[in-house]
Amino acid sequence: MLEAQQNRNEELEKRQRKFDSDINSVRDGASDEKQARERLEREKNLLSADFTLLEEKYKKLKEDHQKLESEKTEIETELLKKGSISTDNEIVSLKKMKRELESKIEELEDEVDDLNIKVDSLQQAKSRLELSQNSLKTQHQKEIEGREEDMEQPKATMNKKIKTIEQQLEEEHES
């Protein structure tokens, strides 16, 4: 009888160690998931900051573009008002200014296009990170719930066995 009790105790201890091991595994998994979430959150914040900077740069370039367009229009209007320009030097100078302004406008338009592409790319990356983060969160929650359910039954069974063994030991001790 005592040998059977010892065997039971050994079996219960093995199960308890396995249970403790499973709990530690769940904790480790939760820690890994937390680190992954934190890393994704940092990446998301960096992308948001980059996005904000690019938006500001885009607005500034757009303002510069509008100013240059305005200057170009003013020069063209001025040329029309003058009608006839007295010297060839003035004509050459004005044409040169016009070409320079048009060149600057083209460069700004190219920069705006590049920034639009970067903004789109950052928005897509941000969306992917958010989806990935939500997926990890959901997956982690399901794993935790599944492991908790898996551990409840063995835990309850062990507690019942421990109580039974304690009662049996008390009965043997009393007799």
Identify the pLDDT of residue 86.
57
Among residues 124, 103, 121, which one has the least CA distance to residue 54? 121
Q: Is 144 left (phi over 0), alpha (psi -120 to 50) or beta?
A: alpha
The first and second tokens of residue 132, run together, are 């990935």
Among residues 67, 154, 151, 65, which one has the least CA distance to residue 110? 65
Q: What is the DSSP letter of 68?
A: H
Structural domains of the chain, ranges and CATH numbers in brackets: 2-161 (1.10.287)
C-alpha 2/C-alpha 6 separation (Å) is: 6
Per-residue pLDDT of the chain (175 residues; tens, 9 = 90+): 778 888 888 888 888 888 888 888 888 888 888 898 888 889 888 888 888 888 888 888 888 888 888 888 887 787 777 665 556 677 788 788 888 888 888 888 888 888 889 888 888 988 998 898 899 889 888 888 888 888 888 888 888 888 898 888 888 878 6
C-alpha 78/C-alpha 76 separation (Å) is: 5
pTM: 0.43
Among residues 71, 59, 57, 56, which one has the least CA distance to residue 103? 71
C-alpha 57/C-alpha 78 separation (Å) is: 31
Identify the pLDDT of residue 124.
92
Whether the Cβ atoms of residue 12 and residue 158 lie closer than 8 Å to each other? yes
Q: What angle do CA 45, 50, 52 make, to 5 degrees?
A: 95
